């Protein structure tokens, strides 16, 4: 019999597919925050990994998963801005964080050279009109 048995190959591929499907959602930024919900649509993706700045419920500011003191935030962001080709940054803030703190971090992002700031929210929140559209 000179045929190739592909059944073991298919089995291995299916197992790998399942592993990658389970592991892919875990590769996002790992700082847990309770994002506010809105009715806005998601932003289109881009080829460069987005820079994520997070403000936790306790008011701690993090760049990706690294905690950054507020007085060093602008200097670190400027250093990051020189290494990146795009100026897009995603700002994730816990819903319990006061608006003043969010605006202060947005100002720091702008001073550091990031003018394309996207606010990250969860979908499925309330809409402003009565029909929910």
Q: What is the pLDDT along the chain (133 residues), one digit of tens a residue?
A: 678 888 888 999 999 999 888 887 766 656 666 777 777 666 565 566 778 899 998 889 998 888 899 888 889 888 888 888 877 888 988 888 888 988 999 899 888 888 888 888 777 777 777 565 5
* 51-120 carries CATH number 3.30.420.270: yes
Instruction: Give the pairing type, strands 88-93 and 116-120.
Output: parallel
What are the residue ranges spanned by the domains of the chain?
51-120
Q: How many CB atoms lie within 10 A of CB 100?
A: 7
Backbone angles phi, psi at 106, to 5 degrees: -60, -40
Backbone angles phi, psi at 117, to 5 degrees: -105, 125
> 0.85 cut: is pTM over it?
no
């Amino acid at each position: 019999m000179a045929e190739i048995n592909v059944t073991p190959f298919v089995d291995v591929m299916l197992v790998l597919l399942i592993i990658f499907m389970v592991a892919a959602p875990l590769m996002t930024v790992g700082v847990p925050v309770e994002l506010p919900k809105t009715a806005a649509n998601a932003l289109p993706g881009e080829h460069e990994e987005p820079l994520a700045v997070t403000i936790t419920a306790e008011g701690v500011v993090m760049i990706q998963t690294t905690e950054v003191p507020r007085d060093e935030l602008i200097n670190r962001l400027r250093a990051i801005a020189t290494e990146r080709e795009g100026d897009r940054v995603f700002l994730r803030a816990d819903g319990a964080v006061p608006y003043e703190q969010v605006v202060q971090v947005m100002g720091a992002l702008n001073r550091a050279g990031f003018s394309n700031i996207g606010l990250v929210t969860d979908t499925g929140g309330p809409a402003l009109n009565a029909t929910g559209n």
